Amino acid sequence: MSNAPRVVSANRDWGSDDSDAHIMHVDMDAFFASVEVARKPVLAGKPVIVGGGERGVVLAATYEARPFGVRAGMPIARARVLAPQALFIPPDHREYYRISTGVMDILHSITPEVEQVSVDEAFLDIRGSKRRLGSALEIGAMLRERIYDEFSLTCSVGIARNKFVAKLASTNCKPDGLMIVPAARTTEFVQCLPVGSLWGVGVKTQERLAEWGITQVAELAVMEVSALARIVGPAAAAHLHALAWGRDDRPVVTERNEKSIGAETTFSKDLVDLDQLLNHFWALADQCGSRLRRKQLVGRTIAIKVRNTHFETVTRSMRLDSPTNSSKAIYEAARELFAGLKRPSATRLVGIRVENLENESDSVFQDTLADSVVGAGVALSRSERVMDQIRAKFGESAIERAAQGGLRLSRPQ
């Protein structure tokens, strides 16, 4: 769910010349909320907000909910005040991941040059695809049609000469839009927008610029970089000045090395009971392990995060003797770390993160002597992969660990 500023006048026909416009940005519209509406058509046309628990945050909201002031990252409690008539739905991250994977498969069928930047958006370099699939606008229209036909979801597509302008185009043609900004009109398009459209301009930077009478990109573009540096600093000044003229030389990066995989949960009511806390750690470890196995990754470091009722947060980590993607091994390390903490009177949030990731095929595993004799490590690995297969086929609730107590409350990070 994007909170980027949009300008109604920018959402228009800028022309169709794609001779130097080969970067495409595909952004799903209100992704999580739209998935819920597609699953339950009775929700269509209603204000729907996706978020976890009374103390969680808004992950997505349908366009019917946004006029009430609901935005991504907003506390759920605040969203309930602004839009009491809205329908609040807990997130189903496994379903979102499944559909995201399907959407990315469609994008990869267009070109191998795909840079996925989040679960619901990606950049594509389509210069090679034009030769076999047609113009940039034809490719964009085909993508939108295929995604809707397969998942009943809409997306917005921006096409331009670089990633920055393509992202601006998709933002300003939302929802369910398609916009190309020809290279020759890049400057005109960018400079019709407010300064908040520039990457790196947050609320505080906007306020500082406004104090100097700068609210539009066009006003920033004509400033001397040295003068701008006195407001935002030298590095930011050079960056923003380049963007104000539509300059961005970053290529589409097709591979990203994932640095960590984690999950956390904020409790609706602060917990004191140790068994309940450990059950939550099991649920978190199970999600981390499942994601690692699905991506064929292992990790060498386990970290936990614990926040108490006073919002004080403590983190601890340990390095394992051997890399792992076993949910049980992750849980046992997390339990050991948690046992070493001074117990607070009540706990508000717990989280687990697996770090120092590497490809499973490149790693050397070392069982303990006892496990190697009885084959416990191999048996555990097989059982966890069988659980993954059952859940993938029949749903998350099809099978669970007895120790987990039915908890699957974590949110992937």
- Candidate list 36, 113, 115, 121, residue with the active-site label: 121
367 is in an annotated binding site: no
Q: Is the dihedral of CA 149, 101, 262, 115 positive or negative?
A: negative
- 2 phi and psi angles, rounded to 5 deg: -90, 135
Helical pair 376-394 and 274-294, crossing angle rounded to 10 deg:
80
Amino acid at 123: F
Strand partners, 50: 60, 89
27 is in an annotated binding site: yes
Are β-strands 347-359 and 260-271 bridged in parallel, bridged antiparallel, or unpaired? antiparallel
Amino acid at 249: D
Closest CA to 59 of 51, 68, 67: 51
- Known catalytic residue at 360: no
Are β-strands 260-271 and 411-412 bridged in parallel, bridged antiparallel, or unpaired? antiparallel
Contact 306, 338 (CB under 8 A): yes
Contact 286, 227 (CB under 8 A): no
Active-site residues: which are they? 121
Known binding site for Mg(2+): residues? 27, 120
Query: Binding site: residue ranges?
Result: 27, 120
